[in-house]
Structures are given as C-alpha cells and as structure tokens.
Structure 1
Amino acid sequence: MDLELLLFYKNPLFHTILSLILAFTLSFFNLPLFFLYALQTYIHPDSQPQSNATRAAIRRPSSTATDGPEIKRRNTKSKDKASDFDENNAQIFRLRLDQSHLRSRLYIDHYCVAFTVSFVTLCSLLLHKYLDSGKNRGFLESGVFVPILLSSLSLYMWVMLFVRVTFERSASRRSEKQFSAVFGVLGFLFGLLVLVPDLLVFLDFDFVPVDGFWRFFVASLIGCFSGFMFIPAGRGARSFWLGTDQIRCNLSMITCGWFTRLILYANQILVIFVALLWIKPLAEIFVNTNNHRSSKGASVINSGLGNGNADKLVGNMGLLPSEFSNFRQWCLLGSSLLQILALRPNLQMYLNEALLSWYQRLHASKVPDLDYSRAKMFLHNHFLCLVVLQFLGPPMLVLLFLGLSQIDGPSFGNFPLSNLLPSFAFINQVALFLAWWVCFLWALFSSVILTLHRHCILYVS
C-alpha cells in the first residue's frame, strides 16, 4: 500500500528531492560566489588593503611591474613652477575578487538567494517537461504545483529586487530613474492596448479576450518591466561599447579579447533578431501558410520566379507555423543563455568603466583632479552585486516565463482555484509574451543607447 502511494505521488517527490538537493549544493559550495570569482577590480593606494595579493596595475615606466600599460613620466621641466602633483598617489591597484571581498559587497545576500532560487526553479521546470504527467493525473499527482509555486516565488522575488535596485540611492543617475518611471507609465498604457485582440495587428500573439482585474494585472507587469529594463540595458550597452573598443582607446586592460568580443557581438545581434521574430511583417517571411506542399504550389512558385513577381513567394516558402513557433522559442532560449554567458564580460567592463575614468582624468590636465574617478571606483565596487542582479535578472525572467509557457493545460488537472483564474490559453500566451517583452525591451533600449553613443550624444567616462 505504501509502495503504491509512493509510486502514485512520484512526480512531486522527484521535484521536491531535486529542489532540496540543488538548493543545498549551491548554498554549501557557494556556487553563486564562484560565478563571480576572479573578476578584476581597481582601487586607489589610500584604499589598499593589507594583503600581498594586491599589486599595482599601472605604474611608472621605471617600475619592474609588467602588469599593465606604461604611463609616461610627466615633464616637470618647464617655464612654469613645478607642480605639487604626486604621481605615487595617482597609482591604481588591481585586485582579484575572492569570497572575502565579495562578502563585503552590498546586495550579496540578495544575489545568492536569487541565483539559487532561480536555478532550482529552472531545473524543476525542465524536470516537469520530461516527467510523465498524463492527462488523467490530478493537480497534486502530476507534481505541476511544485514548478508553478517555485516560479511564482522566483518572479515575485525578481520584481521586488528590481524595485529596490532601480531606485537605489547613488546606484544610478537621477535622470535614469526619471526615464525608468516614464517608460514604466508608457509600458502600462501599452499593456492596456496590447490585450485587445482588435488592436494587436503588428504582433504575432493570440490573446484570449480578458477584462477586469487580469487585464490590469498583466498591463502592470508590462509597465513594470518597461521601467526596470532601462537602466540594465543602458549598462549593458556601455559594457558592449567599452568591451568592443568602440572608443578606440587601444588599452588592453580596459577592453577585452577577441573571443569575449565575439560573445558580446553575438549576444547583441541575437537579442535584436529574437525581438523581431514576433513582429508580423518579419514573421510572415519565415512562415509557409500553405497547408500542404503540392506540385501545384511548386508551379506557382516557379511561375512567380519566372515572371519576376517576388510577392508570390511570401507564404509559399519557409517553415510551417508549428515549426516556426518552436524555432522562435528555441531562439528565445538561446538568447537568454548567451546573455548569461556574457554576464562576466559585462561585469568586467562595468568595473573597467572606473579604470577608464581614472585614465582619462589622469591625462586631462597637468595637475589632474582624481576625486571624481576615486568616487566612481568606490561606487562601482560598492554596487557590484547590485549590477549583477541587473544583468542576471532579464535572462532569468525570460527563462522563467518561457518555462511557464511550456506547461500544458492537462497538467493542471483538477486545480482547486481554476474558477478564479483566466483560461489556460491566456496564461500560456501571456507568459510567452512577457518572455518576448523582456527581450524586446533589452534590444530596444540597448540599440537606442548604442546609437546615441555612435553619434557622440552619450559618452562613456
């Protein structure tokens, strides 16, 4: 009897055991901190800790250190009076982050919890996809309540974290917070319109009509993500601009190598490509709307080619609608994984922004004022884990929403609160839309900011 009961509830047991094992493993071995291990940060001599692991990254040419590029000695032999500038205090030291350094950063506990809960949730969603959750199983027997509960917890946690980090004092400029609030309001208004099927003429989503509380709730989520994505996308754009050496500084300590540049380029291109896959004019190019490929259809294509009428090719070539739907979801998954892979290079470029600021102000005048770069280095070190959350949050949100969209209707079984929820088709489409929406916002904001950098309207300094 006990064995039959155990086999009957094997799915929720598998989910529970896997979640507990993963949570314990990640916490015990400090894997979230290991993900940030050995990032290089920079400090001034007056902030140098008492450790032998710290070494000067940039020194005089007479120094024996070979860690970084050399700085020419200033020419003090001039008609003017010799300046009181002290080059020793202008040195900068490179520091490799380890667990002891990371533990002192702000938001480190929030990052560890968010990393652990999100990873456990994604593994639970993946396990549910490959478990046997038949149509005749109930809500508890199928075990679907475990990934749904974990997903709800993860999404709530990320929304609350984005609220805190977006409006954190001194973590970003006041203008950036104001832009985030404006984009949040515009996103909310757009969300109220996008849920109306008659107005959804340029997006390839099939929303079931819904009104009242759920329409307001989904519109609020769309507006929140519109505001939250602006600052992270702006930082991502600056990291791309600096890492790919668009400013042509030719400093190996500030920019990254060819392989990392390839990752940054591929990440930016793939995010833009995925964002366009749900726009109807582009989506129609990839879809074959014919139900079957007959010889008659082939003759139509050949006649269109012969007469030079390219319009006849639209709808007759490409993937089937079901294949194209799977292709878009795989591209969405790939873009999120690639964005997580580009997390460390983006963080390193974020830390190198302070190094660039120090280098620019060191050579800006004969007696440079390094107070700004000193404060910038402190803030970049202090808010490192806050920026980690801003870089890690968008791809995690995409993966969570994409995983929720893959849960089929029969898996819910006899859900006790099904009468209080909208139809499952609506939930499925909303989850997929929100996954695309986060990706679209990142592509939109980062592309606009990169364009402003290209036209010298914005600067990295």
Structure 2
Amino acid sequence: MPNSSSLLLILSGNLFLQAALALSLTLLLHFIKIPALLLSGLFTYVHPDDVAPNNASSNGVRAAIRRPGTNDSELKPRKKSKERFEFDENKAQIFRLKLSDGHLQTRIYFEDFRSVFNSILVSLSCLLLHRFLPKSEESGVLKSGSFVPILFGFLGVGRIFVLIFRVSFERSASKLSEKHLSVLLGFLGFIVSLGTVHGAVPKWVFDVHFEALHGFEKLFIAIFMGCISCFLYMPAVRIAHAFWLGTDQLRCNLPIVSCGWFARLLLHANYLVMVLTSMLWVKPFTDLLLIDKNSRIENVTKLVGNVGMQKSEFSSFRLWCLLVSGLLQIVSLRSNVQMYLNEAVLCWYQRLHASKVPDLAYSRAKVFLHNHFVCLVVLQFFLPASMVLIFLGLSQLGDDLLTNYEGVCSVLPCSLLDKEVALFMAWWVLFVWTIYTSVTLALFRQGILCVS
C-alpha cells in the first residue's frame, strides 16, 4: 500500500501532467470545432443549372453542385446558321457561396482534416509542455514524462505520412502526368538522400552529420526523405499557384481573384522565410553567417571585427526560423485556400471572354473540382507545415532518449529521436517544399507555365 508521500510524488510527476494535458485537450477539441472555424467564411463558387432548360417560358436558374458532363441528351452536330447569335446570360452566371459548417460536412476529407488537426494540436501541446517541464538526468523516460510527447509525436508523423500519401494519389484530384512527375522526383530525392546520409555528397554542400546512424537506419532515413520528395510536389505547385494569384502577378486587376493587403503580406512573408530557412543548412551560406575563428588577417579583424554569429547563436537562429516558417504556413492557410478557390473563377472568366461563343464546359468542370476537393487541398497545405513543427519538437526532447530506448531501438528504427536527424528532417521538408515552389514560380515568370 503506497503511502501519501509516494502518491503525491506520482500525481505531481511530469507523466501525470502530460497525460492530463493530452486527455483534457482531446475532450476540449471534441466540442470546440476549430477546423470548421478555420475554414468558415471562405468563398466558394458554383455554376448554376437550368431549372427547366427545355421549357422556353422558364428561365430560372439554381445553384447546383453536380459533376459536369451529365447531360441526358446526346450531342448533336452544330448547324451553321446565318442568324444573329444571341448570348445566353444564364450560361455565363456563377454563384458565390460562403462556406459554413454544413457545407464543410459534405466535402470529402473534411473529417480527416478535423481529426488530424486535433491530433497534431495535442502532439504539439505535449511537446511544448515537455520543453518547459523540469527534467532530471536520473529520472527515467516515464518519470520525466517524455514518453507521452514521443508517442504522440510518432503517431502524428505516421498519420501525416499516411494522409499525405492518400491525398497525393487521389483520383481526379490531379493530372496523371503530375503523379508520374512526383514519382520521378521522389526517386531522384531518394538518390540524393542516399548519397547524403552515406557521405557521398561532399561535406561543403550540406551542414549535416549522420555519424551516429548505422546502415539500416541510414536506409530508412533515405527512403523517408525520398517519400517526402515525392509527396510534396503537388502541394508545392498549388502553393505556387496561390502565391501567383494572391500577389496579382498576372496584373489582371480583378478584386475577386486577388487578395487584400494583409493576406498578400502574409504570402510574401511566408515565402521569404521559407527561402531563408531552407538556406540555413547549405554550407556555403552558413559559412557567411558564422564567425571565422581561423582568420589570420589580424589587421582586418581589428578594423571591422568578426561579423557573424557564434555557433550556439546560429543553432538557436535555425530553430527560430523553422518555428516561424511552420507557423506562418499555418497562419496563411486561409489565404492559400481562398486563392485555390479563386483560381476556378479566373478560369471561368478567361473562358467567358476567350471567344464570341464561349465554351464553358472546361470552366464548369474546373469550378466543380475546386469546390469538391477543397478539403483535400487544405490537407495538402496543412500537413507539411505540421510535419515541420512536429520534427522540430522531437528534436528538442533531449539527447539521452536513444540510451533510454535501447531495448526498443534494437528492434525498431528510432533514428528520428536523434536531435540532429529530427532537425534535419524538419529542414528537409521545408527545403523540398521551397525548391518545388521556387521552380514553379520561375516557370510562371518565364511564361512556360500558366495559371488557367
């Protein structure tokens, strides 16, 4: 029978605090629907359907979300007529709807987004609490409470990985050529990752250290990095589309397509921080920011001093940049999703004014697909940023976790618990994301690709 002092020690332990936080947040998020609040108020668009298209006396229209190309009557060849063409304005209408909780419930992947949002929020909260709890070197994994954030962190990474695989290869959500290109890029990413973890890539390219990893762990990390390179292609392309439209790079001056000044500021800040953070593990760039202690030019040193940061300051700067970049991507989620929905309006507008007799079948399909897959795109925008934050949190759990898990790590690959590996994985997600986005924007600027 435990005495009162031992019972008080158990109740006041870090494990109890972590478990209480996870349980209370799970119950609270079940009643507070934050994902629905996050997406409510966005504007989506639908094409109207004729109520009675065969009845000449009835010219009413109604907003309907249905799959395009489901006409009952067969297509008949057009007959040339010398009569004057009369434009049917009903065919050129488009309705704007404000998304509400009821609308979101009907979209596919909304339940997945709500569940993964809640689980990631619980994981990040446990990781943040572990950062500020008092820890002792003699305390075990259970007493220190690190078991709970590790468990939720790995569950969060696994769930993100499964979901991003599902949405990347969802049927009709993207072109077949894009899927093939993403697989090719994933294979190239695996080759580069394999060379990086085995030391084939020169040391002056990336500032990484994988000396503590063994053969199977290096292969596991390389495969994981290759999968990230595969799955992030289509989300990064959509982010580039959103940035191109939101910042009005087309100079179309359509208020319904572009966004306001604050959202535009978020898009610019998000991209600039992503580019800066992705360069912090590139060795030539890091050498410019660090103080060169081996400088032998004493006169120059006395004149201007050592310009740069200490190694400890630079490591802290890396962490803050990763944190700010991940948070900025989540903050700009609404703006990116709204630009994705506005892209369908731009397509409708271009098709409407392309010729005297506009063919709106393509724009009708575009509007339907963007409306139908809106929550899928939300997942594509949300999951990479969440992966960055979770890997960043796992890197701050401590350096002695691998020694505490020797029995488990002898069976399962626990290399993600290593501080350097977890930090590098957070950077790799951001680096691949930035490369794909920047290349797509460059192709837009050169006119090779276009938003349509």
- Whether TM exceeds 0.5 here: the answer is yes
Are 1:118 and 2:108 counterparts? Answer: no
Amino acid paired to 1:380: H
Residue of structure 2 equivalent to 1:39: 42
Q: 1:357 aligns with which of 344, 347, 358?
A: 347
Shift of 1:84: 4.5
Q: Could you list the per-position Cα deviations for residues 8-37 of structure 1 after superposition, in whole angstroms to 9, with x for gaps in the alignment? A: 362111111111111222221211111101
Q: Could you list the per-position Cα deviations for residues 248-283 of structure 1 after superposition, in whole angstroms to 9, with x for gaps in the alignment? A: 110001101111111111111110111011111110
Any residues of structure 2 matched to 1:132-281 within 5 Å, and which? 132-197=134-199, 199-201=201-203, 202-281=205-284
Structure 1 residues 298 and 426: alpha-carbon distance in aligned structure 2, compared to 1, 3 A threshold: farther
Residues in 1 aligned to 2:93 and 2:339: alpha-carbon distance in whole angstroms: 20
Are 1:453 and 2:423 counterparts? Answer: no
Residues in 2 aligned to 1:82 and 1:27: alpha-carbon distance in whole angstroms: 61
Q: 2:312 aligns with which of 297, 302, 322?
A: 322
Residues in 1 aligned to 2:334 and 2:417: alpha-carbon distance in whole angstroms: 36
Shift of 1:210: 3.0
Residue of structure 1 equivalent to 2:87: 85
Structure 1 residues 209 and 412: alpha-carbon distance in aligned structure 2, compared to 1, 3 A threshold: closer
Residue of structure 1 equivalent to 2:97: 95
**Equivalent residues of 1:135, 1:413 under 8 A apart:** no
Residues in 1 aligned to 2:416 and 2:422: alpha-carbon distance in whole angstroms: 10
Residues in 2 aligned to 1:167 and 1:145: alpha-carbon distance in whole angstroms: 34
- Structure 1: state its 5+ residue gaps: 49-53, 57-78, 306-312
RMSD: 2.4
Are 1:434 and 2:436 counterparts? Answer: no
Q: Could you list the per-position Cα deviations for residues 174-218 of structure 1 after superposition, in whole angstroms to 9, with x for gaps in the alignment? A: 111011100111111112111124634111112225333211111
Residue of structure 2 equivalent to 1:290: 293
Q: Could you list the per-position Cα deviations for residues 410-450 of structure 1 after superposition, in whole angstroms to 9, with x for gaps in the alignment? A: 35674342544678798211111110001001110000000
- Structure 2: state its 5+ residue gaps: 52-60, 64-80
Any residues of structure 2 matched to 1:268-417 within 5 Å, and which? 268-290=271-293, 299-302=299-302, 316-410=306-400, 414-415=404-405, 416-417=407-408
Runs of 4+ aligned structure 1 residues displaced above 6 Å come to 421-426
Residues in 2 aligned to 1:419 and 1:264: alpha-carbon distance in whole angstroms: 44
Residue of structure 1 equivalent to 2:131: 129
Residues in 2 aligned to 1:353 and 1:422: alpha-carbon distance in whole angstroms: 43
**Equivalent residues of 1:207, 1:426 under 8 A apart:** no
Residues in 2 aligned to 1:47 and 1:26: alpha-carbon distance in whole angstroms: 42
Amino acid paired to 2:126: S
Residues in 1 aligned to 2:38 and 2:196: alpha-carbon distance in whole angstroms: 38
SS in 1 for 2:142: coil
Residues in 1 aligned to 2:424 and 2:399: alpha-carbon distance in whole angstroms: 17
Are 1:22 and 2:48 counterparts? Answer: no
SS in 2 for 1:417: helix
TM-score (norm 1): 0.86
SS in 2 for 1:46: strand
**Equivalent residues of 2:49, 2:62 under 8 A apart:** no
Q: Could you list the per-position Cα deviations for residues 49-83 of structure 1 after superposition, in whole angstroms to 9, with x for gaps in the alignment? A: xxxxx999xxxxxxxxxxxxxxxxxxxxxx96322
Structure 1 residues 133 and 200: alpha-carbon distance in aligned structure 2, compared to 1, 3 A threshold: farther
**Equivalent residues of 2:402, 2:417 under 8 A apart:** no
Residues in 2 aligned to 1:426 and 1:384: alpha-carbon distance in whole angstroms: 34
**Equivalent residues of 2:10, 2:16 under 8 A apart:** no
Aligned length: 421
Residue of structure 1 equivalent to 2:109: 107
**Equivalent residues of 2:213, 2:415 under 8 A apart:** no
**Equivalent residues of 1:121, 1:150 under 8 A apart:** yes
Residues in 2 aligned to 1:337 and 1:13: alpha-carbon distance in whole angstroms: 28
SS in 2 for 1:141: helix
**Equivalent residues of 2:416, 2:422 under 8 A apart:** no
**Equivalent residues of 1:125, 1:403 under 8 A apart:** yes
Structure 1 residues 47 and 170: alpha-carbon distance in aligned structure 2, compared to 1, 3 A threshold: farther
Any residues of structure 2 matched to 1:50-65 within 5 Å, and which? none
Structure 1 residues 411 and 219: alpha-carbon distance in aligned structure 2, compared to 1, 3 A threshold: closer
Amino acid paired to 1:18: L
SS in 1 for 2:97: strand
**Equivalent residues of 2:48, 2:62 under 8 A apart:** no
Residue of structure 2 equivalent to 1:74: none
Shift of 1:44: 1.3
SS in 1 for 2:180: helix
Residues in 2 aligned to 1:244 and 1:109: alpha-carbon distance in whole angstroms: 31
Shifted more, 103-112 versus 203-212: the winner is 203-212
Q: Could you list the per-position Cα deviations for residues 120-179 of structure 1 after superposition, in whole angstroms to 9, with x for gaps in the alignment? A: 100000000101121010111111010000011111101111111111010011111011
TM-score (norm 2): 0.88
**Equivalent residues of 2:266, 2:332 under 8 A apart:** yes
Shift of 1:6: 4.1
**Equivalent residues of 2:15, 2:144 under 8 A apart:** yes
Shift of 1:299: 4.2
